[in-house]
Amino acid sequence: MGDPSIEASLAARRLLEEVVGVRPGLEVLITADTGTERPLVEVVASACYALGANPVVAYYPMRPYPCQDPPGVIGRAARSAEVWLDLAVHFSIYSPAHQDAICNGCRYLLIGGLGLDSLVRLVGGVDIPKLQDFGSRLREVLRGSKSGRVTSRSGTDFRVHTSNDRWAPPANLRGRSLVLPGQASWRVTEGSIDGRIVVDATLWPPAEVGLLREPVELVVAGSTIVDIRGGREARMFARWLDSFGHPAMYRVSHLTFGFNPRVMRPTGRIIEDERIFGSLEIGIGSARMGAPSHADGIILAPTVELDGTVLIQDGFFAQGELADLARGLLS
């Protein structure tokens, strides 16, 4: 597209009002690193100010990898902020500063790595309430299952058990982490993922991999990666994981479905690609187990079975009500 700034202004306002709940008087911290596109910061800050909030923008040098603390002064500011909009490419989610801010009542939203065109696609051109309703229904279907199998034409074939535990926030968790529209996570039993995961779209970080030229195969036992197979990009990813010297970096930490109807092909921007309609995202690196960073890989067009019933067939939602809702999103 040409100049998306006009459409991005509307998208930013919708994001702040409909997803974050920004209202007059709120103290909003906007953080960005040296990889962030400056026009995105300006559009988001301007929308905050137009809504009557008090935006404060802080830039800092890009950290070596995601999920690290930002500079201390930003961490201290985040603890007192009512809203934290994280636009840094190497974002701070899962870091101690992020956890402290959430425990102090902050609402955190990760939108790092987006450009104005991405903001327009992800937010400006979608029906946010419809996406939220679809996500709620998808989570209900997932919670009602006992086990699942995921396959793909690229070679993915793994099994998993659904967790029946209802997540209860810790007593000291007064804030929350928000997500952009278009994704929902599958809560699975700890250590229950076994088989082959073939990432065939995007794998990031490290930045040197990103949009894949050839698939990367992860052999997983008990939710832990025990082998990485493929070509040059697979070797680069294996070296990146190994560089941390921490076993939790090999842990598969989450499975997340994408269903944003405006995102149909990979771009290399992970926050956009994890919302590709009908995709499955694999989170690698368990913060709960102390992993110092985190990576995400995207499987395009998976087939997902829950208790023997097909939920997704080659990237298209096939389960009764969800299939109808998905058609409504795409129309």
| Domain match, 88 and 235 both | no
Domain boundary among the residues 124, 159, 177 is at: 124
For residue 39, pLDDT over 90 is answered with: yes
| CATH code for the domain of 47 | 3.40.1830.10
> Which domain, by its residues, includes 213?
128-330
- At 5 the pLDDT is 74
3-state secondary structure of 77: helix
Is the pLDDT assigned to residue 2 strictly greater than 70? no
Going by C-alpha positions, the residue among 44, 19, 40, 39 that lies closest to residue 29 is 44
Q: Are 330 and 182 in contact (CB under 8 A)?
A: no
Structure confidence at residue 116 (pLDDT): 94
Task: Give just the sign of the alpha carbon dihedral 16, 18, 19, 22.
Answer: positive
Looking at the structure, do residues 221 and 288 belong to the same domain, yes or no? yes
Nearest CA to 110 out of 257, 294, 250, 255 is that of 294
> What is the chain's length?
331
What the block records as the tokens of 132 is 């939220």
Q: Which pLDDT tens digit goes with each residue over 228-253? A: 999 999 999 999 999 999 999 999 99
Task: Please check whether residues 112 and 157 belong to one and the same domain.
Answer: no
Q: Which residues contact residue 86 at a Cβ distance below 8 angstroms, ignoring those fewer than 6 apart?
A: 31, 92, 93, 108, 109, 110, 111, 112
Q: Over the chain, what is the mean pLDDT?
A: 94
**Are 87 and 215 within one domain?**
no
| Same-domain status, 120 and 134 | no
Decide if 218 contacts 154 (C-beta within 8 A).
no
Confidence at residue 175, expressed as pLDDT on a 0 to 100 scale: 85
Domain co-membership, 143 together with 105: no
Instruction: Check whether residue 196 and residue 305 sit in a common domain.
Output: yes
* Domain identity same for 242 and 286: yes
* Number of domains into which the chain is organized: 2
The beta-strand segments (E) located in the chain are 27-33, 54-60, 83-86, 107-110, 147-151, 157-161, 176-178, 183-186, 194-199, 202-204, 210-211, 216-221, 224-230, 252-258, 280-284, 295-299, 303-306, 309-313, 316-317
Could you read off the pLDDT of 70-106 as tens digits, one per residue? Answer: 999 999 999 999 999 999 999 999 999 999 999 999 9
- The sign of the CA dihedral 130, 133, 137, 138 is positive
Whether residue 114 is found in the same domain as residue 234: no
Q: Tell me which residue has tokens 């930003």.
A: 74
Per DSSP, the three-state class of 64 is: coil
Same domain, 167 and 107: no
Q: Are residues 151 and 289 in the same domain?
A: yes
User: What pLDDT does 331 receive?
Assistant: 86
Residues 115 and 156 reside in one and the same domain:
no
Boundary residue ending a domain (101, 124, 147): 124
Could you read off the pLDDT of 134-177 as tens digits, one per residue?
A: 999 999 999 999 999 999 999 999 999 999 776 555 656 578 99
pLDDT digits (tens, 9 = 90+) for 268-317: 999 999 999 999 999 999 999 999 999 999 999 999 999 999 999 999 99
Read off the pTM.
Answer: 0.93
